[in-house]
Amino acid sequence: MLRRNFRHGANTAICLLLLGASFELAAAQDWPLCQAWPRPTLAYPGAQRGADAPVYLSADSSESLNNEVFRLFGDVLVQRPDEQLLADEAIFYRSTSTLDAVGNVRYETPAFTALSSRAQLVSDIHEGEFSAAEFFLYERRARGTSSKILLQGEELTILKQARYTTCDKDDEDWALRAATVKLDRAEGMGSAYNARLQFHSVPVFYLPYIRFPITDARMTGLLPPTWGSSTNGGNEFAQPIYLNLHPQLDATVTPHNYTERGLKWANELRYLSRYGEGIINTENIDDKVFGQARSLYRYEHRGRLGTGWSDQILFNRVSDAKYFNDFSNSLRASSTTYLERYIKLQYDDKLQHFMIQTQDFQIINPNLSAGSRPYRRLPQITYELSPPMVGPMQFKLESELVRFQRQDSVTGQRASLIPTLSLPYEHTAGYITPKLSVYHTRYQLEDPNNSLADEQLQRTVPVGSVDSGIYLERDTQLGSSGYVQTLEPRLFYVYAPYRDQSAFPLFDTSLLTFNQSQLFSERRFTGLDRIGDTNQVTLSLTSRLISADSGKEKLSGSLGKIIYFDDRRVGLSGNILDTSRQSDIIAELYFTPHDNVRLTGILLWDTDDDVVIERDIRLQYSRDNYHILNLRYRDRGNRRSAPAGLSREIDASVLWPLTPRWSMMARRYHSLEDDRTLEKMAGLEYNSCCWAFRAVRRAIFVNDANAATPPFGSLRYSWYLQLELKGLTSLGKRIDEFMEEQILGYNAVN
């Protein structure tokens, strides 16, 4: 057996892998309905690895001429680490390091296979030629052919009459063809001449010449276009143009034409430097329906200024209140009432956090009352200190200085200092944490209406709490399965004395929503304008059922409520007497009867009125990315004292195959109380081995500020279409990403 260093193999593998990567705009995956392509099994006999590893040659028979020319006959096998070449016959020329292989030539690596009638390789100068080659790229699940593959040094590869597809041999629905393809790895670029795309044997795209990146490098050019239709804009077509301005600067310019409204220019500029990164978005349109020019601007920056220091900038602006209603595809965005803007400077290390910011808002909804508009912070300064524990004690200090401003309102500055001391003790069987905090706040106020009795106010409120819990567990048996059952009682006590705060302003304070986390919170209000008085204890019990074999949680449930020993006297508007002796009971249930099925339920029960005031029940079946079913029912505000606040909603979504290749998708989000659909969509997907087509019709409820009677708005409809050539590109709206937003449990694969 002859042994010699033989380096052509790795070069060939890289060339063919780059061929697949060069055309790809969408990563591959294991798609259904595809034929299995077994990867080659490589069994290199040597122990040495690396570039200097020896080459092993074997054949049924061989002959040597002057120890310079070696002829191999029958089942020729040439092996190097992670690559091998098989052929019927081969000739190796020692002096020129040339290998000529003929007859059923097969070159294999773990990532790809090349089949050829003849191959000639010169390892020392990295040149070679494959004739009538067929190749398979396993990572991309792609294949192709080339009449000739020329290796011209380590950096340049040329393919003649190349064809690339991800379809199976007997079902080739699409293919990309080019007369000549050049791959220049030194430049990181490729070029193709007379490139054409065929779909079901019909030419649909042609370019006489195209350049493309063959690495992660970016390149100026056209991105896949999108098209669709909507009731408020007519037919839509957008063609993104990508501009690679600098290695750390790029832009995307997108002319987006609406047949009803006109041409909207959407631009995005991205930058990256040693000091940070940012995105600038602009949109401009001379709206024929609206009757004037409209615009949107957004700037976001995140920077690094040195060890521990960082900065953030956010700026938003829209031209009018209806902009998001007309151009947003999001139910949440269409109901936006104001946009945030801020500039922040922060410092962080293991012991402390410092932040200074100025914050402003653009009010979008002109009907938003003056009292509902947020205060500007000009500026806000916070400092937090968390030193290491001293013995069993943990100390923490929080402080803030902020100046609030709002037109025609009480304004001023607020300074607060909150030292906290705790003594946490933890054990495998439980824990207990006593804690004491002191909330000290001072105000310097101004009132344009001169209605303040006192412009200087201060308040000091000590708040003490004790949090404790026990972990109990036992082994149990349900049927033939073994489980570990836990019992976790928890007791949380809080005391805060009453301080009259009726004269204090409400800059950033509101009542917190009562939920599971509120059971174990010391505060009832957001912000620092109100520190609620209380003398209360929370009783909670949680139990879990955990599989002894897999460790997965099969079932968990919890119950909790707050018992008040004293009336709460601090409220948002003056002193409000709260005489209830207990809170609503919160119950939570998480049940996984099967790996593919999950049931969750949250319930709030008003024991005083003996009525369930909130239910949130969800059922999900998710077998894989193609079989998903979600059901959700929620009602809120079912109190006898305030029946007008009741809301009842259902949200159902499904993605399910109809046939091996056809699937349906649908979602409906509906308000039962108003008998009004808030959002709905329905669509079909055709999914073959190498391409997919998706069509979706969607409607979202858009509020009308001028509507005087129900339903105070209307549904806005739109159409989305997407053609995906797997392993190549995707044309049209990314419906797979849209489905990820609409159908819980679906994952869009890029």
Phi, psi of 438 (to 5 degrees): -125, 120
- pLDDT for 375 equals 96
Q: What is the DSSP string of 41-101?
A: P-----S--STTPPEEEE-SEEEEETTTEEEEEEEEEEEETTEEEEEEEEEEETTTTEEEE
Distance between CA atoms of 312 and 275, rounded to whole angstroms? 11
- 373 is written with which tokens? 């508009």
Quick check: is 410 in a domain? no
Count up the domains in the chain and report the number. Answer: 1
- pLDDT for 704 equals 67
For 387, residues 6+ apart whose C-beta sits below 8 A from its C-beta are 351, 395
Quick check: is 676 in a domain? no
- Residues counted in the chain: 750
- pLDDT for 28 equals 38
Q: What are the distances in angstroms from CA 496 to CA 441, 504, 535? A: 15, 18, 6
- pLDDT for 36 equals 75
- pLDDT for 81 equals 81
Question: Which residues does the chain have with pLDDT short of 70?
Answer: 1-33, 50-51, 123-126, 212-217, 331, 333-334, 574-576, 638-645, 704-712, 749-750
Whether the predicted model's global pTM rises above the 0.85 cut:
no
Distance between CA atoms of 475 and 482, rounded to whole angstroms? 7
Quick check: is 35 in a domain? yes
Quick check: is 121 in a domain? yes
For 409, residues 6+ apart whose C-beta sits below 8 A from its C-beta are 370, 371, 375, 448
Distance between CA atoms of 295 and 282, rounded to whole angstroms? 7
Cβ-based neighbour number of residue 130 at 10 Å: 28
Burial readout 354-386 (b: 16 or more C-beta within 10 A, e: otherwise): bbebebbbeebeeeeeeeebbbbbebbbbbbee
Quick check: is 89 in a domain? yes
- pLDDT for 706 equals 60
- pLDDT for 215 equals 67
Quick check: is 210 in a domain? yes
Q: Which helix (H) or strand (E) holds 194?
A: strand 189-199
Q: Are 29 and 228 in contact (CB under 8 A)?
A: no
**CATH code of the domain containing 129:** 2.60.450.10
Cis preceding-peptide flag for 424 (omega within 30 of 0): no
Q: What is the DSSP string of 495-562?
A: EE-----TTS--SS--BPPPSGGGGG-S-SBSSSS----EEEEEEEEEEEEEETTT--EEEEEEEEEE
3-class SS at 289? coil
Quick check: is 176 in a domain? yes
Quick check: is 75 in a domain? yes
Phi, psi of 10 (to 5 degrees): -60, -35
Q: What are the distances in angstroms from CA 105 to CA 69, 73, 92, 367? A: 20, 13, 15, 76
- pLDDT for 411 equals 93
Cβ-based neighbour number of residue 398 at 10 Å: 18
Range of the domain at 82: 3-216
- pLDDT for 37 equals 75
- pLDDT for 642 equals 53
